[in-house]
Amino acid sequence: MTAPRLILASASPRRRELLASFGVPFTVVTAEVTEHEDPATDPRIMVAHNAALKADWVAARHPDCFVLGADTTVFLDGQALNKPADQTEARAMLRRLSGRTHTVFTGVTLRHQASGLRIDRGVASEVTFKVLTDETINAYLSQVHTLDKAGGYAIQEQGDLIIAGRQGSLSNIIGLPLEETKQILTNAGLLP
């Protein structure tokens, strides 16, 4: 059996769903790496680094496959809001985001070690939150598992409770910007 040509280097079920929308076959291999998550790092540099770190780790083990890596963070007040460690931190993040506009940055990377192909892209979108009461935050946290999501929220899950509006790519906010990813995969010959 031949190995699939495309591997997604991410454990994210949201990225898996978004990538599947292209109809191209792929498998998932989770990179065993420690991501850089210093909140003081420039978020564009952090997500680019982490996306490349994951893709490079998987590509080194599957040199004949194309490997897609991605990483997303939320940025507010000069600081990255990565995945919350617990419900207390998720609640604090939602309070910080309340009534404000923040930026969501995603780094997307494609690697093919055998040919030396290296493509890196960065995408930014903006999200504006409603003013959130403690009751709204509690209701949201009771309905949505937020510990695996940058910023402690998911726009696609009960977003009407917390989101006032957005600018830019919705799929970027979810975790994989589809327009840029489609362009990358098309340029690599993986999509028609």
Mind telling me the catalytic residues? 71
* Residue found under tokens 């937020």: 146
Q: Is 149 helix (H, G, I), strand (E, B) or coil?
A: coil
Three-state secondary structure call for residue 55: helix
In this structure, are strands 6-8 and 66-76 parallel, antiparallel, or unpaired?
parallel
Of 46, 155, 38, give the one whose Cα is nearest residue 106. 46
Rounded Cα distance, 14 and 12, in Å: 5
